[in-house]
Structure 1
Amino acid sequence: VGEGGVNRYTDGLIVSVGSKFISVFLPHYSIESRCYLDDIHPDLQAAHDPDKFTVTLTGGPAGGGRTLRILDHCTVELHAVFPNRGPCQIRTTLLVGEGEEPPDTRHHLPAVAAAHASEDV
């Protein structure tokens, strides 16, 4: 579906996918996690499949597509391994459990975006 694809869930989680970004928003907690694909690689693009709740990444240096899967309506993980970066893994995760109070933003970041050097090839 590509540009502007949106998933909405009964618990209010909204996942929006553009060709150059992936956004996850929980209005109840006022949390947004946004991953810009240009920050990973300029050739990377996202294609959205709202029926399967997946986002496939293509065009990057890793060859075949990489998939972001929307897990249990409150966890989203993006995994991509790019050999030209060392190799590394880039993950964007939004975790909100049922019944939790809205997080204190001084101690909880809404998005965790990190590149981890891999010891194993």
Structure 2
Amino acid sequence: MQIFDKIISDRGSRYAVSGGPAGNRAEVDAMLAELKRNKRFAKATHNSWAAILGGEPVKDDDGESGAGQLMLQMLDRAGLQDHVIVVTRWYGGKHLGGDRFRHVADAVRHYLTETGLG
């Protein structure tokens, strides 16, 4: 699993993006458990994730409504299958409105660029 921490900060909210290969839901769950072994990520407000596993889209917004769907669209456009991407947000006390979607998209783009998958 690759983790890119503290990549975006806006009005107190902070973002990280993580990911790695996953061929099935059990591997996704194992990767999420590994990420959350780090107390910082376990205490995050949201750990939204998405993956296309064997051609089937799966996602979990983890309370960040719409984030998983946006991530799925980006994975589909990139042609990335059997790989999970997790966008983590620590809420900073101020609502971001639509900017939160821009930050999720920027985090996924950061991951794709840094890993050479995009």
TM-score above 0.5: no
TM-score between both structures, scaled by the size of structure 1 = 0.31
TM-score between both structures, scaled by the size of structure 2 = 0.31
Q: Which is higher, the Rg of structure 1 or of structure 2? A: 1
Higher RCO, Cα 8 Å, sep 6+: 2
Structure with higher helix content: 2
